[in-house]
Amino acid sequence: MIASIRIFSYVVLMAIAVGPVQALAQLPDFTRLAKDNSPAVVNISTRQNGNEGGRMKLPHQFNIPNLPEDSPFNDLFRHFFEGMPEMPDQESRSLGSGFVISEDGYILTNHHVVADADRIEVRFSDRRFYEAKVIGSDKASDIALIKIDAKGLPTVKIGSGKDVEVGEWVLAIGSPFGFDHSVTAGIVSATGRSLPSENYVPFIQTDVAINPGNSGGPLIDLNGQVIGVNSQIYSRTGGFMGLSFAIPIELAMNVAKQLRESGRVARGYLGVLIQDVDRNLAESFGLEQPHGALVSEVMSGTPAEAAGLKPGDIIERFNGEYIYRSSELPPMVGSSVVGGDAVLDIIRNGRNQKLKVLIAQLPEGGSQTPAPSRMVDPDLIEKLGVTVSDLTPKAREVSKLAKGGALLTRVDAGLGNEAGLERGDVIKMFNRTEVLGAEHLKELVAAAGGTVSALVLREGQPLFVAIRLDG
């Protein structure tokens, strides 16, 4: 019996000892990836000339505040520093990373690394220095293409970011805080991630340690291929907090190709404003589950209008690619060929339809619709707990509503307030029906039940709101 217990204890101890060893054996070895790719990764330092705006030149440890031209303190500072030896123009330096994509010196990096630079220096792992020039830079994608005068350079292998799976190991090489060719590793946390300030980039999210100076460096998979360009981090401290974002390499290379050929980037354009479909909106539109991009406005004279898209349509697929969240649509449209056709699968009034749209080029800039002002004939809709009115001709002109609409002049406690309606909202559609005026809205509300949708203009922006009329 005692012998049996000893044997059992030995087996248990061996299992405990072998377990961690087997787990460690399954971890990837990044040494070969680092050796193979580091020669093609560069440190980038940029300089911007100082002494702008005629400010006085001082030693670097002194800083004079920007003062109005007529400030009496200007004379005081001039008198104090009179006779001081003139110092050279101060230069601000920024550090980033990049990687060589062709043997003749083309290097990919981030737009924000080289933006407004007067001089760009590139340094390789073998300490070779080159001065680079900007071929082109695209702020919207945060991609820049620079070039050095060299031949026979080591290059990275370009992979694919489309097939990246959550949980797979990845490696980053860069120069965090100026520490050249630092290597960090982690896993892919999410794909197709949308950030508030970036409409045309479906980021790869990782937990790879990325810090200032890593920007523009490569994100590499276990096959030794670059799948992304490290671009951003989410941080409340300025340092790494476990959330890093990389630009998919297909998008980056497409941008680089356009920058090399024409110096600018052409993006596809539909001409719609869209929003996400939440659970309540899904119920109001008769969907089994939330998905797709809900069209809240169709711009006049755009491909979307020509194709017949309407507010309230839900774009379910773009060129056959399913849309889970509205944020997935802009990158699909933006990367489409300008002048080419695209097929939209939409849901309209509960029915599936297909529309063909001719993709145009995204125009420069844009305009917002001002919020409407003034109101007449206030009317109470007790069922919602709101007061509405028709729009005056002036308010209609300001809001660019050719007809219809009802303006919320007051929102009290009630179903409207619970749904998120606010004073100043203009209701354009209610329960998928165009609102002809305040009285018409009252009729639509009285006849409706369950969960319905309302299309409102809020500060000039269209927004669908789901309202539960049964409380």
Supply the pLDDT for residue 20: 52
Segment 319-359, tens digit of pLDDT: 999 998 888 898 889 888 888 999 999 999 889 999 999 99
Q: Per mean pLDDT, which range of 105-109, 160-164, 185-189, 195-199 is the poorest? A: 195-199
Segment 141-179, tens digit of pLDDT: 999 999 999 999 999 999 988 889 999 999 999 999 888
Beta-carbon contacts of 152 under 8 Å, excluding residues fewer than 6 positions away, are 103
Catalytic residue among 138, 142, 180, 390: 142
Looking at the DSSP bridge assignments, the partners of residue 226 are 158, 220
In a domain, 15, yes or no: no
Say yes or no: 295 and 385 in one domain.
no
Under DSSP, the state recorded for 337 is: P
Catalytic residue among 215, 336, 399, 453: 215
Among 215, 239, 262, the domain-final residue is 262
In a domain, 28, yes or no: no
379 classed as catalytic: no
Supply the pLDDT for residue 245: 93
**Separation of alpha carbons 267 and 271, rounded Å:** 12
The whole model's pTM is what?
0.66
In a domain, 45, yes or no: yes
Say yes or no: 178 and 219 in one domain.
yes
In a domain, 22, yes or no: no
Say yes or no: 69 and 130 in one domain.
yes
Say yes or no: 384 and 287 in one domain.
no
| Structural domains counted in the chain | 4
Say yes or no: 349 and 387 in one domain.
no
In a domain, 27, yes or no: no
Average pLDDT score over the chain: 81
Catalytic residue among 112, 125, 189, 276: 112
pLDDT (average), residues 231-243: 79
112 classed as catalytic: yes
pLDDT band at 6 (very low <50, low <70, confident <90, very high): low
pLDDT band at 14 (very low <50, low <70, confident <90, very high): low
In a domain, 380, yes or no: yes
Supply the pLDDT for residue 319: 94
Among 113, 128, 147, the domain-final residue is 147
75 classed as catalytic: no
pLDDT band at 428 (very low <50, low <70, confident <90, very high): confident
**Which comes out higher in pLDDT, residue 443 or 176?**
176
Q: Per mean pLDDT, which range of 32-36, 154-158, 203-207, 435-439 is the poorest? A: 435-439
Say yes or no: 304 and 394 in one domain.
no
Say yes or no: 211 and 241 in one domain.
yes
| Percent residues over pLDDT 90 in the chain | 39
Say yes or no: 143 and 195 in one domain.
no
Range of the domain at 459: 376-468
Supply the pLDDT for residue 420: 86
Say yes or no: 186 and 131 in one domain.
no
Supply the pLDDT for residue 174: 93
User: What CATH number corresponds to the domain at position 129?
Assistant: 2.40.10.10
Among 206, 227, 262, the domain-final residue is 262
In a domain, 31, yes or no: no
In a domain, 35, yes or no: no
pLDDT (average), residues 364-393: 57
Say yes or no: 120 and 163 in one domain.
no
pLDDT (average), residues 445-453: 85
Segment 27-43, tens digit of pLDDT: 888 999 999 999 999 99
Supply the pLDDT for residue 78: 45
User: What amino acid is encoded at 303 in this protein?
Assistant: P
Supply the pLDDT for residue 270: 93
